[in-house]
């Protein structure tokens, strides 16, 4: 479980377990992407183009790791927040206060308006990914039916030749 990732003086630290994973928080995100068989750079390029997004693209790694971030992607003070671990979000005078499922809290400088925009983008990404799975499953089903049909035709051909 990762609630959020931020830079510490030693490198990229995941919370709440305070595990040092890479040299930077961005390095942790890149490593998670690679573990899920894609690069962060390729993901950002494809997502920006497909959804016509400009900045702060949520990083949808898998259904358990969907990160939003508080500053520019490469900014040292950036915090990557795992949306899937968020229990509650409240607006305050500094930005928002996030309560995670384990009841840990963090305050970040992110407006509630930007947070809501990011959440809407996450839902769009989710729907898109679901549609890809359905299309892939449907195509796989068609391929199986097609291959079964070919096998049946081949059996008829063999039987017609008296083998």
What are the backbone dihedrals phi and psi of residue 141, each rounded to the nearest 5 degrees, phi first?
A: -60, -45
| Digit-coded pLDDT (tens) for 44-102 | 999 999 999 988 999 999 999 999 999 999 999 999 999 999 999 999 999 999 999 99
Burial per residue of 50-71, b for 16 or more beta-carbon CB atoms within 10 angstroms, e otherwise: eeebeebbbbbbeeebbbbbbe
Burial per residue of 121-147, b for 16 or more beta-carbon CB atoms within 10 angstroms, e otherwise: bbeebeeeeeeeeeeeeeeeeeeeeee
Residues spanned by the domain of 90: 4-160
CB within 8 Å of 139: residues ≥ 6 apart: none
pLDDT at 14: 97
**What's the domain count of the chain?**
1
What are the backbone dihedrals phi and psi of residue 74, each rounded to the nearest 5 degrees, phi first?
A: -95, 5
pLDDT at 130: 87
| Digit-coded pLDDT (tens) for 120-159 | 999 999 999 888 876 555 555 555 544 444 444 444 444 4
Q: Could you tell me the two tokens for 49? A: 């183009």
pLDDT at 139: 55
pLDDT at 141: 52
pLDDT at 158: 42
pLDDT at 140: 52
User: Would you say residue 28 has pLDDT above 60?
Assistant: yes
The overall pTM is greater than 0.75: yes
């Amino acid at each position: 479980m990762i609630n959020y990732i931020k830079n510490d003086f030693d490198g990229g630290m995941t919370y709440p377990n305070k595990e040092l994973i890479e040299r930077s928080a961005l390095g942790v995100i890149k490593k998670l992407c690679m573990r899920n068989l894609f690069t962060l750079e390729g993901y950002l390029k494809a997502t920006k183009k497909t959804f016509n997004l400009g900045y702060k693209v949520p990083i949808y790694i898998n259904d358990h790791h969907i990160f939003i971030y508080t500053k520019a992607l490469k900014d040292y003070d950036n915090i990557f927040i795992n949306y899937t671990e968020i229990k509650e979000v409240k607006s305050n005078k500094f930005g928002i206060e996030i309560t995670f499922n384990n009841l840990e809290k963090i305050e970040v400088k992110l407006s509630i308006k930007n947070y809501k925009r990011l959440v809407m983008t996450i839902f769009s990404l989710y729907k898109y990914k679901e549609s890809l799975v359905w299309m892939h499953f449907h195509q796989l089903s068609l391929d199986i039916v097609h291959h079964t049909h070919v096998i049946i035709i081949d059996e008829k051909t063999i039987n017609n030749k008296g083998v």
